[in-house]
Chains A and B, each alone.
Chain A
Amino acid sequence: MKALISLVATSLLCSAVYAQNYAIVGATVHTMGAKGSIENATVLIKDDKIQGVISGEFDRGGYQIIDASGKVVTPGLIGAHTSLGLVEVSSSAGTVDSEVKKVKFSHVGAAVDASYGINPDSSLLNISRIAGVTSAASSVSDTKQLFSGQGAIITLGDKTQAVLKARAFMGVNMSNHGADNIGGSRAVLWVALERAISEAEFAGPKALSPAQEWHGELSKADLKALWPVVNGDIPLIMDVRRAADIRQVIRFKQRHPKLNIVLLEATEAWRVADELVTNDIPVILNPESNLPYAFDQLGATLENAARLDKAGVRVVIGMESHNIRLAKQHAGNAVANGLPWQQGLAALTINPAKIYGIDTLLGSIEEGKQADLVIWSGDPLEVTETAEQVFIQGKLLDMQSRQTKLRDRYLDLNQGRPMSYVRP
């Protein structure tokens, strides 16, 4: 660890002008790509991208060598469903960009655009990235309307431009909470969804100008936001929990085959696993949610992820903001309950990259992809292991956050002066 710290100091001095090239040597590398997992391998980073993953000797000229012997290297973790950058403190603490009130220009919430609210200076980003989370999908949590708006893919590595892809996905809540917002019942909620999608399909790709007449129920802003959804360009993330609602989603997809649908929560998805495979519907879930919180979650089990994966469903894990860093523990618990280890790691890396259509850029350690990766002290899914060094967009991160500073300030309580004078 101390060797890594001095390397950080050196590289911070060097990285001012040129992109620094790195060779991470001697680790077990889980590429999550075609090369699989390789022991005693070297990852080469050049011009902020993965240059390659090799074994054996290589020309060390031009690379800063990072000795990672005995360590484990994986792609950076991707926060699959978060409000990172949109929230600082959730309650009684001023504006929270992830919470939205109803607005007139949007009749169904589709036009809401989270990308405008992303703050790269949010303390949550530093705290998450030093724990190995290097990018994330971020969206508004609730618009009180049908759709939860357009979410963005963000990097946790850039303080000036965090948004990698704006208007990258759309959310809709079709479980109890959604019904509560729309008419109090699924009998209204589903009709509302069908009408919105059908209307957007009818309106077509061309954005309507203010001068054009439009007699539909959606606003023009909503229609513009929904076209990429109905055209299948961006995924529609649908929060559903009970088996009956999941089957409704499957029928919905069969009615609108162009839609790219991903389930969220999917508590009882294990009961409908084969149909999800047939209809090519992946799932973002919380593997630890195993209680009947409501009548639409009666079949909850810790084995949900394992059962889905066994049937062939693509499973994604990581649904928090403040503690998205714990996604690796949740994946580990899915593994403890039957999910194969490689799939547990995939659920945090290549699987979220694939469902969001960003897998040409992120999600695995393969030549040409962005150099987002983590050197772990050991098995990343093990709660006692940690991220020792993180790279985002090829840059070596300064592994500090305000939490590490608070720790360092208070480690010794005998300072002989007020704590505000102690510089950690």
Chain B
Amino acid sequence: MQLKNTNISLCVALVAAFVLTGCDDKKSKEKAAIINPDPFPSAYQPLPSGATLIKNVTILDGIGGRIEKGAVLIQDGKIASLGQNLVADSETTVVDGQGKWVTPGIIDVHSHLGVYPAPSTSSHSDGNEMTAPVTAQVWAEHSLWPQDPGFGRALAGGVTAMQILPGSANLVGGRGVTVKNLPNRVVQDMKFPGAPYGLKMACGENPKRVYGDKGGPGTRMGNVAGYRQAWADAQEYQRKWDLYYKEFDAGKEPEQPKRDLKLDTLGKALKGEILVHMHCYRADDMGTMLDVMQEFGYKISTFHHAVESYKIADKLASAGVCSAMWADWWGFKMEAYDGIQENIPMVHAAKACAIVHSDSELGIQRLNQEAAKAWANGRRAGLDISQADAWQWLSANPAKSLGIFEQTGSLESGKNADLVLWSADPFSTYAQAEHVYIDGALVYDRNDPTSWPVSDFELGQPGEGDSK
């Protein structure tokens, strides 16, 4: 009896002690504040697909390989195998591509589809948050209108994925987003699962022209001071959070730093979790940024437009920075005045990463032709690059630039079956994409007009369902 009473009072005492302890140490039992790194997760679902065998085709695998009279087998949305004389079972759809070509799907690292959509009304003009020079806090996906008819046009041109970026008015324009070219009702439906974010930055004429009369920057030197201060501010913000976690782990009760969306994003870019994509034309502007990169210990993934990369291709190769370029745009600004038609092959020949991009809702429809022009101009200048190698500019290098090369960008076993069946050699004005596959599903078939995607905007309008 006495023992039982003792036990009960012990229990009571223990419980009381426990409760009292709980009240005193409640704060230290809280978790440290974590910033959700993925508040807008991808809801992408591939279209259903069965096994497909495409045979009797010339294949460019996207990493320098070429197979004549080849075949590619797609299973469960992935490339199962490439080669000659592949065999399919009775469940497999067989496509006989006599005389045709297969390549990886084209990836455009520089597009404003959805954020500057058609129709280009002022109410749709959502690509540049022109309210301050540094707006790292905005995310392009929040401006992206999935009903832009331009996505369907790009699909017909063999584009299976792209990076949608803010414009180049700002020093730091905000986060870009990598998407599969399969728009649906909300933007999350097309977000590329597992793709890192991009951060758009811009050097040269645009930011200083936009902000020159609005308190600056008004000069190139003002631009550079702007980036450097932004990075320095991000470093200070990082220190605050690092200290917060350190103190938290040490059992102290640190005050949570005030969350700053702009510095969140900049900090992640410094750490390499977000890839930096910088609009930059002139050789000297790029040269400056290579040093800013060193100063703050981050990496520029890719210079965009990079009209003068041919002048510093060796430096770009050493620094491991990609150049996303046009085949032949020039002259619309002073910083584009020295554009030449051999830019892309000269960068490639110097062993720097070369990419063909569009920055155009029209150009995106024919990136294969842009690569063809660059390839041919390179050959005429004595740069003997094979077509198989040149296709890297359209798929593998863009995929690497966007951090998605493990999943796509080449025809390799196990990777996403993102590919295009072309009516002819795609290095030609006359070649057209006949079939486009994303994750193994046939998402575009030129020969079946009733299957073509029609955006909401085009329903009930002149030309609905027409060949575009």
Contacts and interface: CB of A to CB of B under 8 A. Distances in A.
Q: Do A and B interact with each other, yes or no? A: yes
Interface of A: 1, 88-93, 123-124, 243, 268, 271, 288-295, 298-303, 322-323, 325-326, 329, 332-333, 335-337, 381-386, 403-404, 406-407, 410-411, 413, 419
A384 B311 contact: no
Contact of B462 (A89, A298, A386): A298
Task: State the majority secondary structure of interface residues on B.
Answer: loop
Contacts of B328: 323, 325-326
B119 A293 contact: yes
A385 B427 CA distance: 11
A333 B368 CA distance: 13
A383 B373 contact: yes
Nearest to B363: A288
Nearest to B366: A333
Q: A124, A291, A293, A326 — which one has the most chain B CB atoms within 10 A of its CB?
A: A291
A300 B331 CA distance: 28
A404 B328 CA distance: 13
B313 A413 contact: yes
23 contacts: A88-B331, A90-B332, A90-B333, A92-B209, A268-B462, A290-B468, A291-B150, A292-B461, A293-B118, A293-B119, A322-B330, A325-B328, A329-B373, A335-B430, A336-B431, A384-B428, A385-B376, A410-B310, A410-B346, A411-B346, A411-B382, A413-B313, A413-B350
Contact of B427 (A124, A243, A294, A384): A384
B468 A89 contact: no
Q: B153, B205, B467 — which one has the most chain A CB atoms within 10 A of its CB?
A: B467
A89 B463 contact: no
B118 A336 contact: no
Nearest to A401: B340
B186 interface: no
B149 A332 contact: no
A89 B119 contact: no
A295 B462 CA distance: 10
Contacts of A404: 340
A303 B156 CA distance: 14
A352 B337 CA distance: 29
Contacts of A325: 328
Contacts of A91: 205, 332-333
B12 interface: no
Nearest to B376: A384
Contacts of A336: 429-432
A298 B331 contact: no
Contacts of A243: 462
A289 B463 CA distance: 14
B375 A384 contact: yes
A89 B329 CA distance: 12
B29 interface: no
A124 B336 CA distance: 13
Contacts of A124: 331
A149 to B, nearest CB: 22
B120 A294 contact: yes
Contacts of A382: 428-430
A90 B336 CA distance: 10
A293 B121 CA distance: 8
A-B residue pairs, 8 tightest by C-beta? A332-B429, A384-B376, A299-B463, A299-B462, A322-B331, A291-B118, A403-B340, A298-B461
Contacts of A89: 331-334, 336-337
Contacts of A298: 458, 461-463
B426 to A, nearest CB: 11
Contacts of A293: 118-120
A202 B224 CA distance: 62
A329 B361 CA distance: 17
Q: A88, A93, A268, A332 — which one has the most chain B CB atoms within 10 A of its CB?
A: A93
A268 B428 CA distance: 27
Interface in B324-381: 328-334, 336-342, 346, 350, 361-362, 365-366, 369, 372-373, 375-377, 380-381
B333 A294 contact: no
B158 to A, nearest CB: 14
B314 interface: yes
B295 interface: no
B466 interface: yes
Given A289-B362, A302-B468, A410-B310, A383 B428 contact: yes
Contacts of A90: 331-333
A400 to B, nearest CB: 12
B374 to A, nearest CB: 10
A293 B458 CA distance: 12
B296 interface: no
Q: B120, B313, B350 — which one has the most chain A CB atoms within 10 A of its CB?
A: B120
A407 B381 contact: yes
B18 interface: no
B332 to A, nearest CB: 5
Nearest to B455: A292
Contacts of B40: none
Given A243-B462, A295-B119, 7 more contacts: A92-B209, A290-B362, A298-B463, A337-B467, A382-B429, A384-B428, A403-B339
Contacts of B373: 329, 383-384
A124 B375 CA distance: 23
A92 B334 contact: yes
A382 B373 CA distance: 9
Contacts of B329: 322-323
Contacts of A303: 467
A132 to B, nearest CB: 14
B120 A290 contact: no
Contacts of A410: 310-311, 346
Given A326-B328, A384-B373, A294 B119 contact: yes
Q: A88, A293, A295 — which one has the most chain B CB atoms within 10 A of its CB?
A: A293
Q: A1, A289, A381, A413 — which one has the most chain B CB atoms within 10 A of its CB?
A: A413
Given A291-B150, A295-B119, A406-B340, A381 B429 contact: yes
Given A323-B328, A410-B311, A291 B369 contact: no
A301 B463 contact: yes
Contacts of B342: 407
A383 B428 CA distance: 6
A326 B463 CA distance: 27
A94 to B, nearest CB: 10
A325 B373 CA distance: 12
B99 to A, nearest CB: 16
A19 B118 CA distance: 53
